[in-house]
Each structure stands twice: as C-alpha cells, then as structure tokens.
Amino acid sequence: MKNTLISAIGIGRRASNENDAPYQRTCYAIDGKNSHETPFFVHAWLSTATAAQAVDRIELIRTATSSWSALVEEFRDEDLALWERLESATAKNGPGCTDDDLAPLARILSHHWQREVHCHVLSHNSIDDQASTAVLDRLLALMPTEKHRGLVLDTTHGFRTLPLLAMSALHLADALYPGLANRTTLIYGEFSQGSARGIEFTSVQTIQRQADALRRFTDTLDAEPLAEALADIHPSLAKALRALGLCLAANRFSALDERLRQVRNAIATGSGQGSLLSRLRDAISALLVQLEHKTLAQRLIALARLRGERGQYGLGILALAEAASSLASPQGAPDYESMKTQGRQFEDALTRQQAKSWRSVFHDRNRIAHGANLIDHPGAVTEQNLRDSFETHLKFMTTISR
C-alpha cells in the first residue's frame, strides 16, 4: 500500500552563532540507525527503508511567511534567485508566499526525494480560530480518499498549530472516508538537548482501529469489526462477539441468552487490568449489562430499547414481537401451531385494550418484515410513523412484562 505523507516541515533550532548554518543540523536515530545530518526530520525519515517502500506522494504544509527558503538552501543552494524570492516574500514585512511561488521548490524537492511533492500555503497570517476553518478545509482536501492509500502524518512541530489542525482534519476525513485513520501512521522528530530521534507511532493505528470498532458496536450493535480488531489480543472474546453479532444480525433471538453468556464468560477470563484491553472489556460490559434481566422477554425488550436509541425502530419492533411471543411461551414452543395456540391463550387473559395493543405489535412486525409486498392502508405502520409506533409498542410491552 502506498502512502501520502503530510508534513509541516519541522526545522531544527536556529543556530546560536551567526557564523553557523541558519538551522542546526542533526542525525536522527530511526529504526536503530542514524540518519545523515539534516535540519529537517522529514528528510531524515524519507531516507529510511520504511519510507522508501511506502511513501510516493508528499504534501508540505506551512504558512505564507514560513521559512520556505530554508528548503532551497538545503537542497539547491546554488539557486540563489529562488532563495532570494522566497526569503524576500517571507521577510517580516514581506507579502508572503503563494502556492505558485512554491512550484519551483516543489520541483526541486520532487527531484531530490524522487517522489511527487506539492507545497501548500495554508494561511497567510498566523492561524487563529477564525482562520482555522479555511485551513481545515485545505487540509481535508489533501487527505487520501482512495481505499488503497494510507497516510503518514508528520506531527513534528514546524508551525505548531498545523499538526494539531492536521490531526483534526484526519478525524474529519475518517468520517468521510471510513478506514483512513486505520491506515494512518504518525511520525515525530524529537530534538532535545543535542540528541535527536525519529519516532513512528504504529500503535496509534491499532488503538484507532479498536476504538473505531468499539464505536461501531456501541453505535449500531454491529460486533463484527470489534471481533476482528480483538482477534489477536483476545481470541475468545472476539469469537464470542462474532457469534453475538451474527445472532443480532439474523434476529436469532432464541440464541441470545447463550451468546450473551459466552461474551460475559470471555470478558471474565480476560487479563490486563488497567490496560487498554481492560477498558475495551469494560465498555463492552457497560453496553451488555443493559440486556441483563430476569426473563428472555425482558431481555428482548431491553434489546428493542437499544435498537430504538440507535434509530433502528424496525429492528426494535421485530425484537418486541419476539418478546411478546416469549411472554406467551416462556418455555418455548415445539412448533408454530403450538406457539399460535399459546399466543391466543395469553391474549385472552388480557384486557380488551391490551389485547388490541398486543395484536398491533404483531401486525406491525409483519408489515415491517413483508413491507415491500403489502399495500398501505390507513393506520398502517409506515416510515413516517415508524418511530411513534415503536415507542407505543415499547411502552406497552414494558408494562405487561413486569
């Protein structure tokens, strides 16, 4: 998989002696090896085997008045005319650079790094809250949208607000292009007390993947991504979650109790208190504890409530209908005819209004299950009144199941 590298070009500290080079040069320790001397961490990182294999496109981001000329000085010091233009533009009272001004610099860097390079001016002046919206929009446009591409985000502080905003843009891009965060690697150039090292935060991908999967589970009750994310670190929990997810997706409510038991057992056998895994288990437990009730009917009503909280009203009504069947047949029924008989007997014991509400639950369940083939008629459940119908049925079922 090829990656796009976004970097604000962190520059080493300015030299204290005016006779020295404008910026301190240093060797970064990366992957157990020292890079060549350079004032630019990203330049050191691009020389590693990891970058050589992965990065084929580079987007350099800075402000209009950043020291773009330092790049010319490092990689094409004989190009005095370009250096002077950029130096003049970025001077204290200068007009600042534009993307067009930086096109020659991008060509120099493309040649030197043997990769596609683009230079972007994201803001003319210092970045404040008002300017951040436009900057975020520009950063969002630089994020890779293709599913086969990843992102390497250099968080070394060049102009300190840019890495922060780039992280925010990544968060937005991941919502627009799901999975991008999982394909993102963070790199950082640390320069401290005369020593320097390059850090690649690969663990961030793993944590992001787990967090996204947990959010998917809590937001939609889809357990498959979470099971996949936990497969290597907690196989038994991954297996139990996958089985629970299939049970919920297939509306196989007869297996719900067994699947919940398997998840609880897997959580109980896990280790690593205080670790990220422990926090994931706690989050899963906090969701599933809402399904812990004495009877299957009550557990199905609780499941319906979870569905409704997530806007899954149709699935919620299906669960409520199964809860109604469970109330009528608490021990289960050997066949469909027996279930119908037990249902009629249960209905006969209800008041007239309760019996009407009881029948309405099953009627709406059937319309949802076969809606494509049933003709609408007054009073029928539709997409317009689905939420109201669900809430009415939930209130009724909660009352008669106590």
Determine the pLDDT at residue 238.
93
- Residue 73 neighbours by CB under 8 Å, 6+ apart: 22, 83
Same domain, 30 and 152: yes
d(CA 365, CA 370): 9
Determine the pLDDT at residue 308.
96
- Residue 369 neighbours by CB under 8 Å, 6+ apart: 318
d(CA 239, CA 72): 55
Same domain, 217 and 241: yes
Same domain, 11 and 146: yes
- Count other C-beta atoms under 10 Å from residue 350's C-beta: 14
Q: Which tens digits make up the pLDDT trace of 139-190? A: 888 988 888 898 988 877 544 677 777 777 887 788 788 888 778 887 777 6
Same domain, 263 and 384: no
Query: Which three-class secondary structure state does DSSP give residue 329?
Result: coil
Same domain, 303 and 240: no
DSSP letter string, 121-186:
E--SS---HHHHHHHHHHHHHHS--STTEEEEEE---SSTHHHHHHHHHHHHHHHHSTTTGGGEEE
Residue 365 is part of a domain; what is its CATH number? 1.20.120
Determine the pLDDT at residue 365.
92
Determine the pLDDT at residue 41.
85
Query: Which three-class secondary structure state does DSSP give residue 105?
Result: helix
Same domain, 14 and 73: yes
Residue 37 is part of a domain; what is its CATH number? 3.40.50.10640
d(CA 278, CA 235): 14
Euclidean distance between the first and the last CA atom of the chain, given in angstroms as a whole number: 56
Same domain, 188 and 248: no
Determine the pLDDT at residue 324.
94
Same domain, 151 and 16: yes
Same domain, 40 and 188: yes
- Count other C-beta atoms under 10 Å from residue 316's C-beta: 27
Considering its fold, how many domains does the chain have in total? 3
Same domain, 37 and 131: yes
Same domain, 70 and 146: yes
Same domain, 24 and 37: yes
Determine the pLDDT at residue 273.
45
Q: Which tens digits make up the pLDDT trace of 63-92? A: 887 888 888 888 765 668 888 888 888 877
Q: What angle do CA 69, 73, 79 make, to 5 degrees?
A: 90
| 145: its two tokens | 């949208």
For the chain, how many residues are written? 402
Q: What is the pLDDT along the chain (402 residues), one digit of tens a residue?
A: 789 999 887 544 444 555 555 567 788 888 888 888 888 888 888 888 676 678 899 999 888 878 888 888 887 656 688 888 888 888 777 788 899 999 999 999 999 899 999 999 887 766 666 677 788 888 888 988 888 898 988 877 544 677 777 777 887 788 788 888 778 887 777 666 566 777 777 766 777 788 888 888 999 999 999 999 889 888 999 999 999 999 998 888 888 889 999 999 998 886 544 466 777 888 888 888 898 888 999 999 999 999 999 999 999 999 999 999 999 988 888 888 888 889 899 999 999 999 999 999 999 998 888 875 666 777 778 888 899 999 999 999 999 988
Which residue range forms the structural domain that includes residue 367? 296-400
Domain's final residue, options 236, 258, 291: 291
Domain's final residue, options 291, 307, 336: 291
CB 256 within 8 A of CB 297: no
